[in-house]
Chains A and B, each alone.
Chain A
Amino acid sequence: MRPAIRIEALAKGFTLHLQGGVGFQVLKGEALTVMPGECVALTGPSGAGKSTLMRCLQGNYGSDAGHIWLAHRGAEVDLAAANARLVREIRRETLGYVSQFLRVIPRVSARDVVAEPLLAQGTPRAEAEARATALLTRLNLPPRLHGLPPATFSGGEQQRVNLARGFAPHYPILLLDEPTASLDAANREVVIALIAEAKARGAALVGIFHDIEVRDRVADRLHDILPLEDAA
């Protein structure tokens, strides 16, 4: 079977031009392979680069060197070398991302936030809305909130909207950044079930889980990221 994700010799650093051009390296020679149906948890001390790797994997950060091969449209494409349009296409069809915080778009209802990626994939509106409603309901978001913009929701409610948006389209690759951080026990169970279902479907998952219990229940493997020695 072909890997869903194959990271090779990935390097990522930053140059802060506003601070006199000081540069620092976060990732170097990073390698990671994830197979379909597998869930890998990123571990390591805070500041070591877990979030940076996640952002590189999502295309949100550019990579300085190395490759991020993703199984996309039946072939391996290198996200690290993809142009903006290809990244958008990969995100639309292949790569889902549940961030810690919901980037709220004013005046768009929770249901539409969740339905949006489905619509972008060409799902008919009625079906997209039905799936959005079902998933929000499963995540125990009260129906009266479905039609409201999430701007005024609590952190936990926004997180659930975010989760629904990430899980609704059944992406082959899903990135999870602290997916259960602000959830109660019941909803944590729902997320654990959703992850299990995604794995059963053959999705490859990469996550950062601070909740050790959740991590141990969903992750097949841990991938440790250690801080680089000061590389200046």
Chain B
Amino acid sequence: MSAPLLEASGLDLRFGAVRALDGVSLDIHPGEVVAIVGESGSGKSTLLRVLAGMMAPQAGHVLYRGADGAEHQIGALSEAAKRRLMRSEWGFVHQNARDGLRMGISAGGNIGERLMAAGGRNYAAIRGAAADWMARVEMDPARIDEAPRNFSGGMQQRLQIARCLVTEPRLVFMDEPTGGLDVSVQARLLDLIRGLVAELGLAVFFVTHDIAAARLLAHRIIVMRQGRIVEEGLADRVLDDPRHAYTQLLVASVLSA
């Protein structure tokens, strides 16, 4: 089996008396979709930010194996190197599109920015890639010059995903990507993500409190509670044969997940 793409070990992070992360260790392999589930305050979003190098843990480390084969300690990377990673081999899809998009810049500009950050200097090629990616996330490429504020919440998320995937990242972090959307919009978006992830062979860390979304997307599920991993394993096994009391509660609170 391949080496893990990213490995975290012994992550600790306290906010005052609250243990946001308490001895968390995990890994992800190329092409693997890992859902991190738990209720609000379980530490799942904090974990995502620490894994993505957006927050520093107080103890433990995160190791990433780059496309060049080199191993990078995320905590030891310069901010420039982290940014480069976040704009090339990594992607981050925020729950709120406002955090992941430039609201005053056109859809094409939003998608193209990552290409330009990666050194793209051919206008026609950048615009072509942006239109292509709009189509791939099932948006109308004719709207390429419209600003995100003209789009619905679901469309803004599609745009964010297109912006994220245009540089063909290897590892994508998603923080409740369907949170705050209508149920029908959620389903279509999850569907789209599922298709793209399989097609591109992406590794994805996917934070959600939606058990059904985790079942649809994830290969593996990590259950967080009070900063700790209480259960972890094959997605359908965690959901159909939950061991920990908390997981049983999570699963039981969803009808026919």
Contact = CB atoms under 8 A, between A and B. Distances in A.
Q: Do A and B bind each other?
A: yes
Interface of A: 14-18, 21, 55, 59-62, 83-89, 105-108
B49 interface: no
B1 A62 contact: no
A108 B245 CA distance: 34
Interface string B14-29: 0000000000000001
A87 B32 CA distance: 13
A62 B243 contact: yes
B194 to A, nearest CB: 7
Nearest to B29: A85
A107 B248 contact: no
Interface residues of B, number: 23
17 contacts: A15-B243, A16-B248, A17-B245, A18-B248, A55-B241, A59-B234, A60-B236, A84-B235, A85-B32, A85-B220, A88-B219, A88-B234, A105-B216, A106-B187, A106-B188, A107-B188, A108-B191
B245 A62 contact: no
B1 A60 contact: no
Nearest to A56: B241
Contacts of A60: 236-237, 240-241
A106 B191 contact: yes
A62 B237 contact: yes
B2 to A, nearest CB: 9
A47 to B, nearest CB: 17
B59 interface: no
A35 to B, nearest CB: 27
Contact of A55 (B1, B233, B240, B248): B240
B252 interface: yes
Q: Looking at chain B's contact residues, is the secondary structure mostly helix, strand, loop, or mixed? A: helix
Nearest to B242: A17
A27 B234 CA distance: 21
B249 interface: yes
Given A60-B241, A105-B194, A89 B1 contact: yes
Contact of A87 (B29, B234, B245): B234
Contact of B191 (A14, A84, A88, A107): A107
Contacts of A105: 191, 194, 216
Contacts of B240: 55, 60-61
B245 A18 contact: yes
Contacts of B241: 14, 55, 60-62
A18 B32 CA distance: 31
